Amino acid sequence: MESAKATDLKARGAGIALLGIGGWLLKVSFFDVLCDAEANAPKVSTSMKALLLSPAFVMFGLLLIVIGAPGDGSSGVGRYFVRAADRKLTPLGWMLALLTLAPGLVLYLWLQDRLSALGFE
């Protein structure tokens, strides 16, 4: 059985990976598209999936880096979001998961509005 410290280090490493992936997705799907559109590129394309997921990856990555490995759901803050018996999300856990997608949706809608203002479909 792994020690708690090794599990915690793995979770923090996964957090660093999620933060990196989320940052890269944000650069490619938002900043690069916006820069190309403002530079009058003949065509730009956006990815709704990448824009939805990139802020969630960044948030969950930061969360893992800061707090480390989540518990088993029987104690601590995790008990409100995960049922310990079957490791399934509670309604509050689902609400948190959906709320992490909200910044990505707002970002996508804002980018679409900005692209329309610049003359792109």
Let me know: does 115 contact 37? Beta carbons within 8 Å: yes
Tokens of 112: 């679409």
Task: For residue range 67-98, list pLDDT tens digits in order.
Answer: 877 766 666 667 778 887 888 888 998 998 89
**How is the chain split into domains, by residue range?**
4-117
pLDDT band at 7 (very low <50, low <70, confident <90, very high): confident
Token pair of 102, please?
């909200």
**CA–CA gap between residue 74 and residue 16 (Å, rounded):** 26
Q: What is the pTM of this model?
A: 0.83
Closest-CA residue to 56 (of 78, 83, 29) = 29
